[in-house]
């Protein structure tokens, strides 16, 4: 090979290398951001302080309620919209994580898959088992289903068997109170027993595993409620509220996934939770 040919090959190689680099950067999306933030954090054996927990980049968490046609409400999306929103997450390289992973990430700095997202469902509607779970499963996603236990086996709500099946399939089942009374209205220990402690025990029997996660009815919490929940649940989920500085694990933020384009969903996820993941 003469000198000129060598030079050309070297240039070509450089070009190919640069092109690949650009391509991988482009396809990994926000990965460069998360590498930047993660590099100083290593997994630890001892629990993070509240300040450290609050300092971890937030994971986008979506919250769905009704999945049905013909409902005009910010608490409803059509099955077609839900399917399209899940598809864009899968196509964009998102990985659906579960609360146990989020807990280890927040408390012990354990790593998460690239582009993590959590997909949650409130109110134990029957379409969560009938419509949502099959769509998730086809894409290799797992979901988190928060049950208000007064609805067991009622019309339009999941049966206890459907709830058990979700848990068996590897989804996470959490508690959403007994009858959807907001935490700020629980006056005494009897209320806590009725809304949280007893329903948790019953739900654990149904799913044959621990129920460690809570979603606040209406997303509404107060400091006292977060403190009480910390005795019974590893994590509790709000909607878009400010996190409690003493109980960050009991005030994990979620956003409502509303009717709209799949691209719109990705945009609001970034707007709400930042671009660190």
CB nearer Zn ion, residue 53 or residue 147: 147
Q: How far is the CB of 199 from Zn ion (least distance, A)?
A: 14
147 is an interface residue for Zn ion by CB under 5 A = no
120 is an interface residue for Zn ion by CB under 5 A = no
Q: How far is the CB of 217 from Zn ion (least distance, A)?
A: 5
212 is an interface residue for Zn ion by CB under 5 A = no
CB nearer Zn ion, residue 94 or residue 214: 214
CB nearer Zn ion, residue 122 or residue 228: 122
Q: How far is the CB of 173 from Zn ion (least distance, A)?
A: 15
Q: Which helix (H) or strand (E) holds 255?
A: strand 255-256
Q: How far is the CB of 110 from Zn ion (least distance, A)?
A: 29
Q: Which helix (H) or strand (E) holds 218?
A: none
158 is an interface residue for Zn ion by CB under 5 A = no
CB nearer Zn ion, residue 123 or residue 244: 123
Q: How far is the CB of 223 from Zn ion (least distance, A)?
A: 21
CA distance 37 to 236: 25
User: Hey, which bits of 83-191 come out as E strands?
Assistant: 95-96, 116-122, 144-147, 172-175
**Alpha carbon 276 to its chain's center:** 15
244 is an interface residue for Zn ion by CB under 5 A = no
228 is an interface residue for Zn ion by CB under 5 A = no
Q: Which range in 3-11, 102-110, 114-122, 230-238 contacts Zn ion by CB under 5 A?
A: 114-122
175 is an interface residue for Zn ion by CB under 5 A = no
Select from 213, 173, 218, 221 the least CA-distant residue to 196.
213
Select from 79, 83, 90, 172 the least CA-distant residue to 126.
79
123 is an interface residue for Zn ion by CB under 5 A = yes
Considering only the C-alpha atoms of the chain, give the largest distance between any 2 of them, rounded to a whole number of Å: 88
122 is an interface residue for Zn ion by CB under 5 A = yes
- What torsion, rounded to 10 degrees, do the Cα atoms 170, 229, 111, 47 define? -140
Q: Which range in 103-111, 121-129, 132-140, 203-211 contacts Zn ion by CB under 5 A?
A: 121-129
Q: How far is the CB of 124 from Zn ion (least distance, A)?
A: 9
CA distance 38 to 138: 31
CA distances from 244 to 51, 54, 143, 183 (A): 11, 9, 25, 15
Which of 90-110 are b and which e, b meaning 16 or more Cβ less than 10 Å from the residue's Cβ? eeeebbbbbbebbbebbbebe
Number of residues in contact with Zn ion under rule CB under 5 A: 2
64 is an interface residue for Zn ion by CB under 5 A = no
CB nearer Zn ion, residue 53 or residue 196: 196
Binding residues for Zn ion, rule: CB under 5 A, are 122-123
């Amino acid at each position: 090979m003469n000198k000129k040919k060598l030079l050309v090959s070297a240039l070509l190689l450089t070009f190919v290398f640069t092109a690949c680099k650009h391509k991988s950067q482009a396809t990994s999306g926000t990965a460069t951001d998360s590498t930047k933030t993660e590099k100083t954090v290593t997994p630890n054996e001892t629990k993070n302080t509240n300040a450290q927990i609050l300092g971890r980049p937030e994971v986008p968490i979506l919250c769905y309620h009704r999945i049905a046609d013909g409902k005009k409400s910010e608490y409803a999306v059509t099955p077609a919209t839900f399917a399209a929103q899940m598809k864009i997450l899968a196509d964009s390289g998102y990985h659906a994580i579960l609360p146990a992973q989020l807990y280890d990430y927040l408390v012990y700095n354990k790593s998460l898959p690239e582009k993590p997202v959590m997909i949650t469902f409130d109110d134990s509607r029957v379409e969560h088992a009938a419509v949502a779970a099959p769509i998730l499963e086809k894409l290799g996603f797992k979901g988190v289903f928060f049950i208000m236990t007064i609805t067991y086996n009622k019309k339009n709500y999941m049966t206890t068997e459907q709830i058990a099946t979700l848990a068996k399939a590897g989804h996470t089942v959490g508690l959403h109170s007994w009858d959807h009374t907001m935490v700020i209205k629980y006056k005494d220990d009897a209320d806590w027993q009725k809304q949280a402690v007893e329903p948790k025990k019953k739900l654990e029997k149904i799913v044959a595993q621990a129920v460690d996660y809570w979603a606040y009815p209406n997303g509404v919490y107060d400091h006292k409620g977060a403190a009480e929940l910390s005795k019974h649940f590893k994590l509790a989920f709000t909607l878009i509220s400010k996190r409690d500085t003493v109980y960050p694990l009991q005030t994990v933020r979620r956003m409502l996934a509303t009717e709209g384009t799949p691209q719109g969903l990705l945009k609001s996820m970034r707007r709400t939770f930042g671009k660190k993941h």
